[in-house]
Amino acid sequence: MNGALFYAACKLLVLPPGLLVVTGLVGLLCRPFARRAGNLLVVLAIAGLWLLSTPWMSATLAAPLERHLPLEPAELAAHGVEAIVVLGGGTYRDAPEYGFRDEVSRLTLERLRYGARLHRASGLDVAVSGGNPSDLDAAEATHMATALVTDFRVPVRWVETVSRNTAENASASAARFPFRRIALVTHAMHMPRAERAFTAAGFEVTPAPMGFVSAGGRPADDGPAGVTVFDLLPEMRALWDSHYAIYEYVGALWYALGRD
């Protein structure tokens, strides 16, 4: 089994909705000879799908990951930040509206937008990090630099194009970028893993999280957000957020076991 196929199989078996679909199918296959166990698995799959599709559950899963408050631009100078580093978040492949070229994904675009805002607020130079792990027409960071220049009118001074994952984002950036005090831009749920990797690579990291799902970005004196009936109704965005949170928990465990 090649690496890409193994990775896809692991995602199917570990992350929703694939995990829940497999659980439900196993339950259906078990019913002819183990009716009670089969029914239980089917019920668990349906209940799990509903629960993970609710905004309440996605926010609950995200909250422990989203432990950094949003960055105030004044903190950049206070921490002696030398550059803004924006991490890639995937690619939009063969985009029809862009002449069937590979382009930045929605997640990456959200990060670039926030990186552009920090650049304008601080005047700091921008670096982007993202390689080519899945045979794109160019490295992810190359597409990121093009989008920043073309769509946001933000110059990109440094581009890291050889990494395949977050750990390699950090190590490859350490080998190529001539600075160590950075504002690190990525989604709030991804920040703990990214901060850990970049700190281990020798950077002094000022987290610049964005894309919050939970109330983690709300100052404590604002009080807790109330739960409404709408927070318990399923929606596709909440399922995606739950998927992302569980992905980050699995990624953190993988790194804790000493894997890249």
Q: Give pLDDT tens digits along the chain (260 positions).
A: 465 677 677 777 889 999 999 999 999 999 999 999 999 999 999 999 999 999 999 999 999 999 999 999 999 999 999 999 999 999 999 999 999 999 999 999 999 999 999 999 999 999 999 998 777 889 999 999 999 999 999 999 999 999 999 999 999 999 999 999 999 999 999 999 999 999 999 999 999 999 999 976 555 545 455 788 999 999 999 999 999 999 999 999 988 887 66
HSE-up (13 A, CA, CB side) for residue 190: 24
Strand partners, 92: 103
Surface-to-core class of residue 18, CB atoms within 10 Å of its CB (0-12 exposed, 13-18 middle, 19+ buried) = middle
Q: Is 91 helix (H, G, I), strand (E, B) or coil?
A: strand
- Could you please state the CATH topology (level 3) that the domain comprising 74-211 is classified under: Rossmann fold (3.40.50)
Q: Which token pair is 103?
A: 């382009």
Q: Give the pairing type, strands 181-187 and 125-129.
A: unpaired
> From the CB of residue 33, how many other CB atoms can be counted at a distance below 10 Å?
8
Domain residue spans of the chain = 3-63+234-256, 74-211
Closest-CA residue to 203 (of 244, 160, 161):
160
